[in-house]
């Protein structure tokens, strides 16, 4: 279900990836996964998890959960609630939803208690090294200054940081994000040891999301 190399598209809160549009985009990912055999997952808005998880067979992730358990906490995202809605895992500490260290530790523990797969995001190799101690299922390396970029990527601008992060991650599979725009970005990242990708803009803002996804997946299958 989560074989590597894996491709995960973060739908964020783009208009093209919310509500009915999110379901259509999820179905595209399911179709490409089924036809290519590549492991593909999606991280969707908490509001869309239940509907999408019922409609598609590919892994669905939450974009965030809070470090809480059953009880009060109005307005927070409960890990067990995400699990019951159909998600199999969650992102944590994305650069757009950073957590203080203590909160991150607690969120990882709460997500584990809810039997959610945990993808912990790191902004630099130093954080990759630090977050290894959290024993997540995946680490995602995304320099924040390159997230959403359509002109530069971590693979083209900082390839040495991918290699370093892979080494620091050790046995924990490292995903690469931040400006992944081209087949070359995919090929370089995999050659440097990455085990997958966490990408948003290149798919969610593509004129033809399915064509874009198929190009990336084709490059992944060459490995």
127 is catalytic: no
29 is catalytic: no
From the list 140, 129, 215, the residue with the least C-alpha distance to 177 is 140
Contact 177, 158 (CB under 8 A): no
SS3 per residue for the chain: CCCCCEEEEECCCCHHHCCHHHHHHHHHHHHHHHHHCCEEEEEECHHHHHHHHHHCCCCEEECCCCCCCCCCCCCCCCHHHHHHHCCCEEEECCCCCCCCHHHHHHHHHHHHHCCCEEEEEECCHHHHHHHHHHCCCEEEECCHHHCCCCCCCHHHHCHHHHHHHHHHHCCCCEEECCCCCCHHHHHHHHHCCCCEEEECHHHHCCCCHHHHHHHHHHHHHCC
Check 142, 160, 187, 210 and give the catalytic one.
142
Check 94, 96, 129, 184 and give the catalytic one.
94
Contact 25, 16 (CB under 8 A): yes
Residues assigned a catalytic role = 94, 142
């Amino acid at each position: 279900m989560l074989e590597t190399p894996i491709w995960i598209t973060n739908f964020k809160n783009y208009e093209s990836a919310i509500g009915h549009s999110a379901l259509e985009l999820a179905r595209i990912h399911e179709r490409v996964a089924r036809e290519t055999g590549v492991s593909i997952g999606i991280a969707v808005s908490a509001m869309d998890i239940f509907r999408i998880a019922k409609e598609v067979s590919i892994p669905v992730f939450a974009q965030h959960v809070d470090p809480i358990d059953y009880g009060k906490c109005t307005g927070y995202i409960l890990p067990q609630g995400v699990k019951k809605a159909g998600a199999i895992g969650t992102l944590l500490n994305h650069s757009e939803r950073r957590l203080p260290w203590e909160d991150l530790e607690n969120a990882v523990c709460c997500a584990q208690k809810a039997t959610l797969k945990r993808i912990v995001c790191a902004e630099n190799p130093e954080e990759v090294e630090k977050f290894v101690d959290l024993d997540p299922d995946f680490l995602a390396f995304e320099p924040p200054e390159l997230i959403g970029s359509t002109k530069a990527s971590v693979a083209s601008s900082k390839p040495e940081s991918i290699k370093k992060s892979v080494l620091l991650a050790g046995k924990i599979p490292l995903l690469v994000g931040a400006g992944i725009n081209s087949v070359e970005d995919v090929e370089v990242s995999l050659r440097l040891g990455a085990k997958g990708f966490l990408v948003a803009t290149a798919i969610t803002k593509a004129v033809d999301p399915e064509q874009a996804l198929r190009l990336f997946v084709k490059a992944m299958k060459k490995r």
